[in-house]
Structure 1
Amino acid sequence: MGIITVDPVAELRGIVQGIRDAAEESCGVESVERDLERALDVLKSNPGSRGAFEEVLVSVIDSLGDGAVELISFSMHELRWQAVKEAVTARISDPRRNVSNLRLYGAMLDAFSDSWRDRDLYARFDRQDG
């Protein structure tokens, strides 16, 4: 019998859905932080899947919805992937954009900074000095 391996991209998609479901049912990041940690672990543990991960994250940016800002902000504050930052920046500068989404995109982009203003909402980053 072989060992069952989970496709990391499928695993990430499942975690994303869990984040969306939990965020829809509650307010505050406490309900999703454990899943955000799991998503970050998958992203960091599978460097060979980065291109596919970036596609998943860009689809999250495009769909927005519950948990999207939290997932992108939390993971990209640590990872700072240029392709994801460029995707957010492109949505901000797109003349056809939905203006009401600008605040959400701005919140995502802010997470790429060391001075991310929402970092203290998350135990992982609130514990860190700086």
Structure 2
Amino acid sequence: MNDVIEEFDMLCDVAMAAFGEEQEISYEMSLLNILEFVKKHPDYKQDFVEKFKAILVSGNSPFEVVAFCMRELQWPEIKEFVIIKMNPSEDPRSEALRSTLTAYDELWPDADLYSYYRVN
């Protein structure tokens, strides 16, 4: 595995720990670090797309990482993936997927949870 993907995985691990309040860094700052890292490495978009998809189908990853990043990135590949995966009868994470999909709306209902996206 290359260094960029390894660092992305490490940033996601930090976000997981911050979500569980096991780190000194805030959860939002850990999400922002991931967003900035992804934006800094546009050549790895396809790799990041696959990583974000894996987060969405994993039962032990905070889906907010994807929603937070997609609010700004607006990658159609992720939106299409979420729409395909949203089947409440089959996927217990369908509510999480639905929340990720709202990041693509003009007004994101979860924006007020993050100072980065909060309208002042």
TM-score in same-fold range (> 0.5):
yes
TM-score (norm 1): 0.80
Q: Which amino acid aligns with 2:44?
A: S
Query: Identity of paired residues, percent?
Result: 26
Relative CO higher for 1 or 2, CA cutoff 8 Å, sep ≥ 6?
1
What number of residue pairs does the alignment pair up?
117
From 97, 116, 119, the counterpart of 1:124: 116
Q: Which amino acid aligns with 1:61?
A: L
TM-score (norm 2): 0.86
Q: Does 1:92 align with 2:89?
A: no
The CA distance in 2 between the partners of 1:64 and 1:79, in whole Å, is 23
Larger radius of gyration: 1
Q: Which amino acid aligns with 2:6?
A: A
Q: Which amino acid aligns with 2:53?
A: V
In the alignment, structure 1 segments of 5+ residues that lack a partner are: 1-5
Corresponding position of 1:62: 57
In the alignment, structure 2 segments of 5+ residues that lack a partner are: none
Could you report, residue by residue, the CA deviation over 1:8-43 in whole angstroms, capped at 9, with x for unpaired residues?
2211111111111221347xxx93111111100111
The CA distance in 1 between the partners of 2:59 and 2:9, in whole Å, is 14
The CA distance in 1 between the partners of 2:9 and 2:90, in whole Å, is 25
Does the residue aligned with 1:13 lie in a helix, a strand or coil? helix
1:87, distance to aligned residue in structure 2 (A): 1.3
Q: Whose helix proportion is higher, 1 or 2? A: 1
- Compute the RMSD of aligned alpha carbons: 2.1
